[in-house]
Structures are given as structure tokens and as C-alpha cells.
Amino acid sequence: MLPLDGLVVVSLEQAVAAPFATRQLADLGARVIKIERPEGDFARGYDRTVHGQSSYFVWLNRSKESVVLDLKSPGGRTALRRLLARADVFVQNLAPGAVDRLGFAVEELRADRPELITCSISGYGNGGPWRDRKAYDALIQCETGLLSVTGTPDTPVKVGISVADIAGGVYAYSGILTALYRRERTGEGCALEVSLFDALAEWMSQPALMARYTGTDPRRFGAHHTVIAPYGPYPVADGTVQLAVQNEREWRRFAFEVLEAPALADDPRFDSNSDRVAHRADLDQELAKWMNRFSVAEITVRLDKAGIANATVNTMTNFLDHVQLTARNRWTDVATPAGEVRTLLPPVTSEQLAVRVDPVPALGQHTRTVLAEFEFTDEEISRMSADGAAR
């Protein structure tokens, strides 16, 4: 039995944040009915890299049922209202106020069904002067200061994945699980709100604390750590190795056992982590001289033997063949309308909990069967299809 078997989630979703939240619910067995506009979730058209399909859509929408409704039409709204009458959870990430204008205000839905759990995902939250601003992932990265701490000293760089959307989706998912647990105990649902801005702001708390209590904005150090050294990429004879020296004990082992450079361990400029950070340029110059004697393979053996954390700076192609993923059987196949796709299993593993990886749906694949299940007659479904209310 899957943990969320029997749970019905109706999701008026698009792009990344809400689909990421509901896909995780689907992984655990929830029935996720994905409501798409007639032209489909626009994430379907982000790219054409996976057998001609969007990599975003394939990643985010397995194990769901696609139902196409035109909510601007009376028939489409009637269909959604009937689906919501039997839903446990309603998720939506339309523009602020859009569901209210369509006649699905959260307050009214929950007044009719207090057991319903609703989750509204927005850019900046349902209030404040920025409520209606457009809020794409890169814009949220800018506004929360993420770009100010990411990149080189000369150039700020956005994170290369949809980190704000992912943060919002993670908090929506955990919030829904919390609300389900609360409902089990009280019988009552609740209305959840998650903003991408608030979600990423939480992840920015540590640099925010630094700025508040030092009066100085954190600097950018590329792939190097802001407050720990040596912690970052260092060149060796035939490549680069990422080091992570966390304390003074490790620093001395690194100097003595890895580099065979006891003078570095006793250099007053590098006596403590704070000293090493203060003299970062000198430290990097010294390490470049010592580390250039070794190949990646040689220094990795030395680092592992000394118990110093290290990593290879992989490309995505290298990552696909990572020995740890292969050894732990982390890859599986998922069916899509264009053929099977290799994908990763959910990250939480347990011998006691099962997950599912069912197909990615074609646009409107389940419209007719779902409407029939929710007591629409063949005649009604045909009329809605002819009117453009459903497809």
C-alpha cells in the first residue's frame, strides 16, 4: 500500500512550483488530477529535449491524470466544481486573485467543505504592495539577494536550476503533509499559502544574518565558501579538486599528510580558520604551488586517506554515470507519450514505504474518463468537447 493511497488532489497548476509539490504527492500514491488549459501547461513547451518533449514537464508530471478544461466557460467551471466536491486537496498557482475571479475563492470552497485542504502558491504572497508583480524564478533569485552571493567577485550569477520554484514546491508539499496530519487528528482542513519569495527568503537566512549583524554584505567567492577556507575548487596537475577543510585538526592533517608541507601548518597567517579566510589570497597562492605536484587521482587518494572531504567537479554527463547512483539503483524508467525516459527515483527511501513512477500524461489524456467517473454523461461530455469547455 502506498502511503497516500485514496487521497484525491485536484491541481490547477502550471510551470514548476505547484507541479513539483503535487508530483511528490503522486509519488506517494495520491491521485493527482492535473487541470490544464486547452493549450496545456505552458511548461510542456519549455524545450523539446526529451524525445521531443519538455524536460521540465517530464520531470514534474509523472503519475498524474491530465484533464483539459476551459475555465472561462461555464461548462469548464461546472466540471471543476464537481471535481472539487470530492477532492481532499486543492492546489493552485495561478496569478493572485485568478481563482477568485473564476468563482473558486478558497474561503467559499472551505465554507462548503471545512475538511478541504487548499494550497495557493504565488510569487510574493497574497498581500503587500508586490502581490501582483510577475515573479519568475530568476526574478525571485534577484529580489531575495541570491545573485548577490552567487558568482565571482566581478559577476553575479543566477543558480542554474529553478531554485525558487523548487523551494516553493518543497514547502507546499511539506505544508500539505502537515495539513493532512492535522486533519487526521481534528477532522478539519486548512488553507495554506506559500510564496516563492518567502520560500527562498528562508533559504537566504544565513547570509541575511551575516549582513544584519556585521553591517556588511557577504562577498562572492565563486565556488569557494564565504566563511571557511580552504573550501572550494583548487587546481592540480591535470584538473581541479574541490576541497572542504572544516576545522583546525583537518587543516593540520591536510598540510602534514596530504601536501607534506608542515611549514603551512605552522604559518601564522593560516593558524585558524578566521586567519585563513583573512589571508585567503595568500592561502590560495600557497596551495596552488603545493597541489600542482599531484594529479587528480593522486591527490584524491591522499585526501581520502587523511579523511579530508573532497569531490570531483562533474559535468552533467559525468553525473549521469555516477557510481553512487548506479550502485544504489537510483535510476528507473518512466513511460511518456513519446517513449520511455530514464529518471531518478524519489530521494526519500525506506524499506517500509513504497513509491510509484507511473506514466507522464499526454495533454487531455484523462479528460473523458475522469469526467465520466465524476458522473458526467456521454452526452454532456460530447457537448462540453464541442463547446471547447473540455478536451
Residues with a catalytic annotation lie at: 225
Residues ≥6 apart with Cβ < 8 Å to 91: 9, 10, 11, 12, 13, 18, 21, 22, 118, 119, 121, 172, 176
Q: Contact 33/65 with Cβ under 8 angstroms?
A: yes
Give the integer Cα–Cα distance in Å for 391 and 377: 15
User: Which phi and psi (to 5°) does residue 39 adopt?
Assistant: -85, -5
User: What's the helix, strand, coil split of the chain in %, to 5?
Assistant: 45, 15, 40
Q: DSSP character for 124?
A: S
β pairing state of 117-122 and 89-92? parallel
Give the integer Cα–Cα distance in Å for 293 and 298: 9
Residues in the chain, how many?
391
User: Which phi and psi (to 5°) does residue 24 adopt?
Assistant: -70, -35
Please report the DSSP string for 225-238 in residue order: -SS-SSEEEEEETT
Give the integer Cα–Cα distance in Å for 183 and 190: 8
How crowded is residue 171: how many other Cβ atoms within 10 Å of its Cβ? 22
Cβ burial of 127 (10 Å; 0-12, 13-18, 19+) is exposed
Residues ≥6 apart with Cβ < 8 Å to 157: 147, 150, 151
